[in-house]
Amino acid sequence: MKRTIKLLSLVAALAMFALPVLAQAKECTDEFKTATYSKWYENRKEHQDVAYQAAKDYLATCPTDESQYATALKKFAADYDRLNKDVDTGKQFEAAFKAKNYADEMRLGKLVVASNPDSTAVYIIMGVAGLGDPAVLADSVQYAKKAIEMIEGGKPFAPYDTKDRALAALNYAVGKANLQNAPGDALPNLIKAARYDSDLKKSPQTYLDILTAYEKGPRAKQTEAYESQYKGKPETPESKLALANLDQIIDREIDAYARLAALTTNPTDKKSVMDELTTLYKYRNKSETGLNELLASVLSKPLPDVPTPLTSLPATPASTTPASSGSQSGTTGTGQPPVASGTAKPAGTLPGKPVASPTPANKKPRRAHHGA
C-alpha cells in the first residue's frame, strides 16, 4: 500500500511539472503572429540568424497560414537554407581547389554554378581542371568554352593574375581535349593559347602539340586524299594544287619545329628536334639555306594561322625560299607528297610524324588561389 501511494505521488509530481510545459505550448494567435513577424522583420537584415529562427517558429506554429506574411517568411527561410547550403558547397570547392583535387573541383563546381551561374572563377577552375587531370579533360572542356566566352565578354579572370594567362590556359585546355580525336579542330585553340602572353607561349610542349595537331589532322587528311586520287597518275593541275595545299601544311610544321627547337634546352632533345627540322626543311626548300636565319628569328615572328586551302595555283612559279614564306617548291621528283605515319614512304620523302622527343613535362598554367 505504501508503495502504491508513493507511485501515485510520483505520478502527481510529474504531472505538476508537465503542466507548465503544456501551458507554454505556442498557439497560432494573432498576438503570436504579430510578435513573431515583428521579430523577423526587425532582424531580417542585420541579424539573419535571429530572423531565420523567428520565421521557423512562425511557420511551425501556424503551418496552415497562407497570408502574405507567411509567404514572405517561407521565402526567407528557403533562401536562408539555400544560402547556407551554397556556402558549405563553396567551402568544399575551395578546399578541393587548394588541394588540387581536380575530380572534386568538377563535382563540386557543377553544384556551385547551378546556384551561381555568374561565378566566372568557378567556370575557369573547372575549365582548366583537365590540364591537371586528363581523366576529367573531356568533361572540363565545356566549362573552358563557357569561361572563355565570359572573360571575352568582360567578366573577371581570377584566379589568374592576367587576362592573357587565363585565356591561354582555357584555350589550351580546349585544344588538348580535341587533340586525340579531332586534331584538326584542336589547332585554332592551340594557336590562340600560344599567342597569349603566358608561360604557354614559351613552352616547348605547346609547339609539340601544334605539330602533332597538324600531322594527325590536315596533313594526314590531305595526304590520304592525294594518294587516293593522284598517286601513280600523270601530273595534272589538280594534283599540283593538292601538293600546293600540302606544302602550306608543311610550312606550318616547319614553323612549329623551329619554335620547338628554339625553346628546347636539353642537348639530347634539341639534337633530335634539329635533325627532324633539318630533314623537313631540306625536303621543302631543296637546301639548308635560310634555316639558321629562321631559327634565329622565329620566336620574334607571329605564329601563323592554319592556312586557308588554295583553290587555284599561283600565277607564277614560286622561288626557293625559306619554308615559312609559303613557297610551293616542296614536291619530290616523283611528284609525291610526304606521307602520313603508317603508309609506304616514296623515295626522298619524310616520315609523316613529328619527332617523338622531346616530351617535356607539360607546364601547367599558374593558378592563383581565388577568393570565392
> pLDDT digit string (tens) for 280-292?
999 999 999 999 9
- For the chain, give the mean pLDDT: 81
Q: Please, are residues 261 and 269 in contact by the beta-carbon 8 Å criterion?
A: no
Percent of the chain with pLDDT over 90: 59
**Domains delineated in the chain:** 28-85 (no CATH), 100-182 (1.25.40), 203-372 (no CATH)
Per-residue confidence (pLDDT) for residue 24, from 0 to 100: 54
Of residues 312 and 340, more confidently modeled: 312
Residue 324 is classified by DSSP as G
Is the pLDDT at 10 greater than 80? The verdict is no
Helix and strand numbers (H, E) in the chain are 14, 0
Helix (H) or strand (E) holding 229: helix 220-229
What single-letter amino acid sits at 364? K
Q: Enumerate residues 6+ apart whose C-beta is below 8 A from 52.
A: 76, 77, 80
Of residues 289 and 9, more confidently modeled: 289
Per-residue confidence (pLDDT) for residue 21, from 0 to 100: 41
Least reliable range by pLDDT among 41-55, 91-105, 137-151: 41-55
Of residues 40 and 361, more confidently modeled: 40
Per-residue confidence (pLDDT) for residue 56, from 0 to 100: 80
327: pLDDT confidence band, cut at 50, 70 and 90? very low
Q: What is the DSSP string of 45-66?
A: TT-HHHHHHHHHHHHHH-TT--
Is the pLDDT at 128 greater than 80? The verdict is yes
User: What is the rounded CA–CA span in Å between residue 196 and residue 187?
Assistant: 15
Q: Taking residues 192-205, what's their average pLDDT?
A: 97
Per-residue confidence (pLDDT) for residue 82, from 0 to 100: 67
Q: Which residue has the cell 607561349?
A: 201
Neighbours of 232 (CB within 10 A): 8
User: What is the rounded CA–CA span in Å between residue 92 and residue 86?
Assistant: 10
> Of the spans 30-44, 78-92, 232-246, which averages the highest pLDDT?
232-246
Q: Please, are residues 310 and 245 in contact by the beta-carbon 8 Å criterion?
A: yes
Q: Enumerate residues 6+ apart whose C-beta is below 8 A from 342.
A: 352
The predicted-structure confidence for 219-268, as pLDDT tens digits, reads as follows 999 999 999 999 999 999 999 999 999 999 999 999 999 999 999 999 99
Neighbours of 10 (CB within 10 A): 10
Per-residue confidence (pLDDT) for residue 316, from 0 to 100: 60
Of residues 371 and 57, more confidently modeled: 57
- Reduce the DSSP state of residue 333 to 3 states and report it: coil
Name the CA dihedral angle for 106, 110, 116, 122, rounded to a multiple of 10 degrees: 10
